[in-house]
């Protein structure tokens, strides 16, 4: 065994320069977690609607508040990113798209589609 059991752990996140692909992967997980919280909020909204006008108005007032709109905007981004990146994962599951060039390209496509879909959605909301 080791002469010195006090061996340090070499630096990892502290030094590793994460490539775009890794950051997209982390983003997939973060948006997934955000969507779970969003699902709870939708459940709250539905329950409020079932309870009657008072609770429903409370929920809608929150949704129309700047914080509510900010959160909904965040969830729309999360929803589209997670959806498109999920499709990217499905394509990977068929064994395709693993060349570095392809993986970067699909990542850029996901980002672009996310931006377009989010923009289209909020354009609809305000027009």
| Alpha carbons 35 and 45: distance in angstroms, whole number | 15
> What single-letter DSSP state applies at residue 114?
H
Residues touching another protein: how many (CB under 8 A)?
A: 29
Q: Is the dihedral of CA 42, 46, 51, 54 positive or negative?
A: positive
The reply to whether 103 sits near another protein by the rule CB under 8 A is: yes
Residue 73 main-chain phi, psi, to 5 deg = -60, -45
What is the longest distance spanned by two Cα atoms in the chain?
Answer: 72
Q: Which of residues 43-82 bind another protein (CB under 8 A)?
A: none
Minimum distance, C-beta of residue 92 to another protein, in the bound complex (Å): 5
The reply to whether 18 sits near another protein by the rule CB under 8 A is: yes
Minimum distance, C-beta of residue 3 to another protein, in the bound complex (Å): 6
> What single-letter DSSP state applies at residue 19?
-
The reply to whether 89 sits near another protein by the rule CB under 8 A is: yes
Of 4 and 127, the one with the shorter C-beta distance to another protein is: 4
Interface positions with another protein (CB under 8 A): 2-4, 6-19, 21-22, 25, 89, 92-95, 98-100, 103
């Amino acid at each position: 065994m080791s002469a010195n059991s006090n061996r340090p752990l070499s630096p990892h996140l502290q030094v590793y320069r994460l490539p775009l692909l890794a950051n997209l992967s982390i983003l997939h997980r973060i948006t997934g977690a955000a969507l779970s919280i969003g699902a709870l909020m939708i459940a709250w909204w539905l329950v409020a609607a079932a309870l009657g006008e008072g609770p429903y108005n409370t929920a809608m007032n929150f949704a129309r508040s700047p914080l509510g709109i900010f959160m909904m905007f965040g969830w729309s981004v999360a929803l589209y990113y997670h959806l498109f990146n999920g499709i990217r994962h499905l394509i990977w599951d068929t064994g395709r798209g693993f060349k570095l060039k392809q993986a970067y390209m699909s990542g850029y496509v996901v980002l672009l589609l996310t931006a377009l879909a989010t923009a289209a959605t909020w354009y609809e909301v305000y027009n």
